[in-house]
Structure 1
């Protein structure tokens, strides 16, 4: 309430009543708030020139941008990191801002709000008055403060933001949408059919959890508000099979031009960059996996690799139970990569580890053939996948994604690009690029029994057939699904939105300094 009162006083011009940013308040959040309200931009900031072109902002509010696989951080962090870099390389893009949240402990460790990631690409840290990283379901209580901070920081950049792109229907996205409105920026929203398409099957049974239903209905409400406010709605590519289009779930799109959406920009992955200590890390990781594969069996097993954040929607627990109940553990080892260190105590990850442990509790042999590795950096994951795909290795490897659904499945694309035979869920966007029996396998992941049948099929694919499918998959990804191609597709949308709201920043506000303040 004190912070809200300060913001209100500042809005009325009563800055003489506000504390100075240099005061001895208890935490970094208050110091930053007081400083921005009364003293202007945070200290330690200087200006650099920007070329002509549009300023693009994109939001990454779930998890940590630089720690994929931990907590709620997943493929989106990898996608937006590489996409921002690729966008910044396009000539008529002057700069890219990736907006991320920063809670009080993170601000205490580093109070800088704008950090350079690459040439033309900056990380804009949005202060959140919370003792820990805020989960999407808790963002509603911070929505107005986040909107205020984002609008304020956009205004301190010295040059207006032209376009803001938000993903996910949550309160954080709605906060940034409001900030875009206040700052005069165009809004692009990536819409998906979830949770709409899952509500009936989730709650059409006795004993459905009312709190979860309330959360999903709130997300439906938020998605409607974001579509209402967006200058452009972008869909995620889907197959032409069972999944209906966005208009089925958002009938209001029918009133918009071209059916309401700008089509589907192909998502993609960056070029592989080997980590600095590639040889050491490769041998260390392969050594741990091979030690498990070599133990206690005269039969040469297949390695089943699965990478992703530990979360119920990723279904690592269902995968483990399917692997045990189907008997696949007798001829394979299961390597699951994801989650932060167990000592961190993330409740969602802890519950997933417990369920994985329960799945192997009935079979000591399965327990010995299961390897749980904490989240690796994206470079390390791709290094490991390349090493496991080497045909000269003693143990063959197959990649499996057991998710209930994937809107696109960037981790699958990375495994395909590395040369592994992959299997992914038939629900969601994976069938858009993975054709069953041609460049991989599609799995029914609706139950452990169905998934177990898919695992048996995956293990039964012969080496030559697997090699042919893996080659087709690798060629497709390298030719079509790159972050550079995605950036080139999106920038046309961004330019159109910028033009519809008044043109690029330098054209809209010639009286404002065309310089962005960034850390020295």
Structure 2
């Protein structure tokens, strides 16, 4: 008999790896001490205990950012003097300090991460130090700096705060220049002068679809057509989905979030108290060339609003900082052009795009809701507190942590994703400031859920095509009848399809099963997809006989995925089937829930939110996905579960999902949050009733 690792032991070990080994977590300790000092009324750079030992780059940067008085004579981890400046500024902004205008313009040319800090503090700087000082500092910088990123930033931020740092002729020269970011920002600033399409601005005809919609917006043409019409009384809610194509989950960056927000938006639009929902997505230049319409009606009460981005490809989260200021302008401009004001804007990811939308919410007077997750927080020390940590990844993850902190600070309501115990204890551990947020009330964790199954168009033909492809691979096996292992998700390192293939071959499970992976687009140039396909190929090199037992299908519409899952779960099928989620972690795991609802015996990762609803051995299996060996052991266990035991598990799983995790229940829970924050916002501002026009802050 083979020994399988204890799932409970794996779960406990993965929950807090540093603590499980009896070690300190320097990231959690630094943040906890910092926020404790702030709550105690002491400045965060005041007296404190010993800062983290500076043996790695992470610890050096933590010392600089959370213990600024902590000094290291040498920097063995590789921190730079600029790291010191950036860390100090983050520390001050977190503590509520406001840099003066001269300091802001002096630091602009430093880095994209510094510009994110200054973007966050800019409006406070103008309020604190006044328009005259700020305008003078900006004017001097615009006339002396040669950094186009700094120039574009200053032009956009002065436009947002109503400043006029340059006379129109100077702005016209910038608007007709060769740098697109500077030219576009100059045109947006000219629009605040009442010269949106001033004579000579733009150098003639627009060069592409992005410039066409920009000039139309500056000319005050209604880009959203007739706007949101035919709504009932209630709240007008906006929600963001800035990663990947909204209507093609599984391609590029688009995954479960697009499915979730599609079904949630539809359900919200049917919920009492909600007038309409608009889902915010992005559109790059090729997407605008293909379809220049910015507002589409998805269904009754649910619209999709496309925010233009000046990029030749869909923008990845790590690239969003290059578009942050323009995105904030577009969001405020387009949301403000709709026929009724937005009451609540909900963002769900800690990146520069969400920070831009939070700023847009401030400008149009909408309440902000933020879904916070401990990502990348929970793995900071585990991943980066090592001597050979990648400096780029360390700095990027610290940037994301800062963005998450600012979104928490800006939010009128912070909500989490239910954890293993049904609460948000892990979230509070990684966001110590939540102890002082909203009167110390722990953030809520509304249940996420799946929409009722709706068969796709042409379902019989599509069903036969998909099952035919699966059966052709399964039927080619001689001897024992194989089990079908199904995996669905975007091709991305966190989904670990390459680890799954290695686990499948190294464990010998390829002899008793075929593996069907659904995800990715053969047309895309997405680098993550391309790299994942290459790693899958490499995983097959040592086991060529497995190649004929692996079926790679491109991403399918969600309705077709659910149709395939139901078909594979049919007990009359000649091949039994199992669903396996190989992700390193899932914050919630919508695809796992959908497989459970379809009647497939489902296995998901022990790390993250899946254990909140999947109980090992009762309604599915939990897998240690940290290594291919451990995952292989889990696959063996999954394959050896008999049909009778599997039927009992799937029955319990399906009943749980259908009674507890529905999109309608999630919509009702979110409506309660939205009504509460909108009411508080209205009372605090002395505003009018929901649904009546408000004064719009200029963008």
TM-score class, shorter: over 0.9
Distance in 1 (CA, whole Å) between partners of 2:329 and 2:205 is 23
Contact 2:428–2:434 (CA under 8 A) maintained in structure 1 = yes
The structural deviation recorded for 1:151 is 0.5
1:366 and 2:546 aligned: yes
Match of 2:189 in 1: 8
Which aligned pairs between 1:73-472 and structure 2 lie closer than 5 A?
73-240=254-421, 244-257=425-438, 259-341=440-522, 343-472=523-652
The structural deviation recorded for 1:506 is 6.5
Check 1:325–1:244 CA distance in 2 against 1; reply closer, same or farther (3 A cut): farther
CA offset digits 1:243-286 (Å, max 9, x no partner): 95211111111002364543111001111111111111111111
Contact 1:54–1:505 (CA under 8 A) maintained in structure 2 = no
Distance in 1 (CA, whole Å) between partners of 2:444 and 2:357 is 23
Answer with 153-162 or 62-71: which moved more.
153-162
Q: Secondary structure in 1 aligned to 2:682?
A: coil
Match of 1:517 in 2: none
Check 1:123–1:70 CA distance in 2 against 1; reply closer, same or farther (3 A cut): same
1:60 and 2:241 aligned: yes
Q: Relative contact order (C-alpha < 8 Å, sep 6+): which is higher?
A: 1
Which aligned pairs between 1:481-500 and structure 2 lie closer than 5 A?
481-500=661-680
Taking only aligned residues, the RMSD between alpha carbons, in angstroms, comes to: 2.1
Check 1:22–1:68 CA distance in 2 against 1; reply closer, same or farther (3 A cut): farther
The structural deviation recorded for 1:470 is 0.5
Check 1:236–1:512 CA distance in 2 against 1; reply closer, same or farther (3 A cut): closer
The structural deviation recorded for 1:240 is 2.3
Which aligned pairs between 1:506-517 and structure 2 lie closer than 5 A?
507=689, 510=692
The structural deviation recorded for 1:51 is 2.0
| Structure of larger gyration radius | 2
Distance in 1 (CA, whole Å) between partners of 2:692 and 2:389 is 56
Check 1:302–1:49 CA distance in 2 against 1; reply closer, same or farther (3 A cut): closer
Contact 1:18–1:34 (CA under 8 A) maintained in structure 2 = no
Distance in 1 (CA, whole Å) between partners of 2:386 and 2:243 is 30
Contact 1:22–1:31 (CA under 8 A) maintained in structure 2 = no
The structural deviation recorded for 1:24 is 2.5
Distance in 2 (CA, whole Å) between partners of 1:186 and 1:23 is 40
The structural deviation recorded for 1:40 is 3.2
Check 1:511–1:268 CA distance in 2 against 1; reply closer, same or farther (3 A cut): closer
Contact 2:424–2:445 (CA under 8 A) maintained in structure 1 = no
Contact 1:243–1:428 (CA under 8 A) maintained in structure 2 = no
Distance in 2 (CA, whole Å) between partners of 1:122 and 1:36 is 19
**5+ residue gaps, structure 1:** 514-520
Answer with 281-290 or 463-472: which moved more.
281-290
Answer with 10-19 or 251-260: which moved more.
10-19
2:656 to 462, 469, 476: 476
Distance in 2 (CA, whole Å) between partners of 1:91 and 1:452 is 47
Check 1:458–1:370 CA distance in 2 against 1; reply closer, same or farther (3 A cut): same
Contact 1:21–1:39 (CA under 8 A) maintained in structure 2 = no
Distance in 1 (CA, whole Å) between partners of 2:654 and 2:688 is 42
Answer with 275-284 or 250-259: which moved more.
250-259
The structural deviation recorded for 1:166 is 0.1
Distance in 2 (CA, whole Å) between partners of 1:240 and 1:258 is 23
Distance in 2 (CA, whole Å) between partners of 1:250 and 1:77 is 26
Check 1:370–1:238 CA distance in 2 against 1; reply closer, same or farther (3 A cut): same
Match of 1:516 in 2: none
Distance in 2 (CA, whole Å) between partners of 1:77 and 1:265 is 18
CA offset digits 1:82-126 (Å, max 9, x no partner): 100100011221110000001111111111111100111100110
Match of 2:103 in 1: none
Report the TM-score, using the length of structure 2 for normalisation.
Answer: 0.71
Distance in 2 (CA, whole Å) between partners of 1:46 and 1:411 is 33
Q: Secondary structure in 2 aligned to 1:262?
A: coil
The structural deviation recorded for 1:363 is 1.5
CA offset digits 1:381-417 (Å, max 9, x no partner): 0000000000011110010001000000000001000
CA offset digits 1:198-254 (Å, max 9, x no partner): 111111233221111111111101000100100000000010299952111111110
Check 1:241–1:52 CA distance in 2 against 1; reply closer, same or farther (3 A cut): closer
Distance in 2 (CA, whole Å) between partners of 1:47 and 1:58 is 15
Q: Secondary structure in 1 aligned to 2:530?
A: helix
Match of 1:40 in 2: 221
Distance in 2 (CA, whole Å) between partners of 1:34 and 1:261 is 46
Q: Secondary structure in 1 aligned to 2:229?
A: strand
Contact 1:191–1:233 (CA under 8 A) maintained in structure 2 = yes
Check 1:154–1:43 CA distance in 2 against 1; reply closer, same or farther (3 A cut): closer
Distance in 1 (CA, whole Å) between partners of 2:266 and 2:378 is 33
Contact 1:56–1:162 (CA under 8 A) maintained in structure 2 = yes
Higher relative strand content: 1
Distance in 2 (CA, whole Å) between partners of 1:44 and 1:257 is 39
Check 1:19–1:502 CA distance in 2 against 1; reply closer, same or farther (3 A cut): farther
Check 1:326–1:51 CA distance in 2 against 1; reply closer, same or farther (3 A cut): same
**5+ residue gaps, structure 2:** 1-181
Distance in 2 (CA, whole Å) between partners of 1:267 and 1:102 is 27
CA offset digits 1:446-500 (Å, max 9, x no partner): 1001101101111111110000000100010011111111000000000011101
Q: Secondary structure in 2 aligned to 1:502?
A: helix
Distance in 2 (CA, whole Å) between partners of 1:488 and 1:20 is 49
Distance in 2 (CA, whole Å) between partners of 1:325 and 1:467 is 28
